[in-house]
């Protein structure tokens, strides 16, 4: 997944493109790689944060010059926040255009702002991800045609277990 980048580059890139996950490259600790997913932990002002992230395997209609895109699941135990599903799209979403995650035909709405999207029902999305083989995120950029990013769920079950163990999720 992140094979084309060094671990430090990945951490710096994640810190740059995942606004919900402000990570300093020297403070994030890799928890491991499982299939197409990598997991990390770090501490911020509120305490420990654990997340797993993946890159899309393919993108349909992605424009040239598009930024990196990631799908991540985050736990923040001190905030009692678990299973937060977020997407950094690499483009600004069109205002009021629908965005969704499709996991084996089960569709979940996303709300968007800027280049970020979040699930409206995190727990349901994660449960579907634990049973699925892949997912597609559909979104529409501010300019251009709708984009579909396909992600593999290979390794997600273990990666999710790793962040759960590291952050004490039940």
Please report the pLDDT score of residue 9 as a whole number: 37
Q: Look at residue 75 and tell me if it is in a domain.
A: yes
For 47: left if phi > 0, alpha if psi spans -120 to 50, otherwise beta; the answer is: left
Q: Tell me whether residue 117 is in a domain.
A: yes
Give the pLDDT confidence of 32-64 residue by residue, as tens digits. 999 999 999 999 999 999 999 999 999 999 988
Q: Is 1 within the bounds of a domain? A: no
HSE at residue 39, side-chain half, CA atoms within 13 A, is 23
Domain range enclosing 128: 7-167
pLDDT value at position 26?
A: 54
Residue 8 has pLDDT above 50, yes or no: no
pLDDT in tens, 128-165: 999 999 999 999 999 999 999 999 999 999 999 999 99
Total domains in the chain come to 1
Q: Is 67 part of a structural domain of the chain?
A: yes
d(CA 83, CA 99): 19
- CATH number of the domain bearing residue 21: 2.60.40.1880
Confirm whether 155 is domain-assigned. Answer: yes
Does a structural domain hold residue 2? no
Total-model pTM: 0.83
* Contacts (Cβ under 8 Å, ≥6 apart) of 4: none
Q: How confident is the model at residue 82 (pLDDT cuts 50, 70, 90)?
A: very high
- Of 155, 147, 166, nearest in space to 53 by CA: 155
């Amino acid at each position: 997944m992140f094979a084309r980048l060094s671990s430090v580059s990945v951490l710096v890139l994640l810190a740059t493109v995942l606004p919900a996950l402000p990570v300093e490259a020297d403070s994030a600790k890799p928890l491991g790689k499982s299939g197409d997913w990598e997991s990390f932990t770090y501490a911020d002002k509120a305490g420990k944060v654990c997340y797993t992230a993946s890159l899309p395997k393919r993108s349909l209609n992605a424009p040239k010059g598009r930024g990196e895109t990631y799908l991540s699941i985050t736990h923040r135990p001190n905030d009692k926040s678990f299973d937060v599903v977020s997407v950094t799209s690499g483009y600004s979403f069109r205002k009021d255009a629908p965005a969704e995650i499709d996991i084996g035909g089960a569709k979940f709405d996303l709300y968007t702002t800027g280049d970020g999207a979040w699930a409206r029902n995190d727990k349901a999305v994660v449960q579907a991800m634990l049973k699925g083989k892949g997912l597609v995120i559909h979104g529409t950029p501010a300019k251009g045609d709708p984009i579909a990013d396909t992600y593999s769920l290979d390794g997600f079950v273990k990666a999710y277990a790793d962040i759960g163990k590291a952050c004490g999720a039940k």
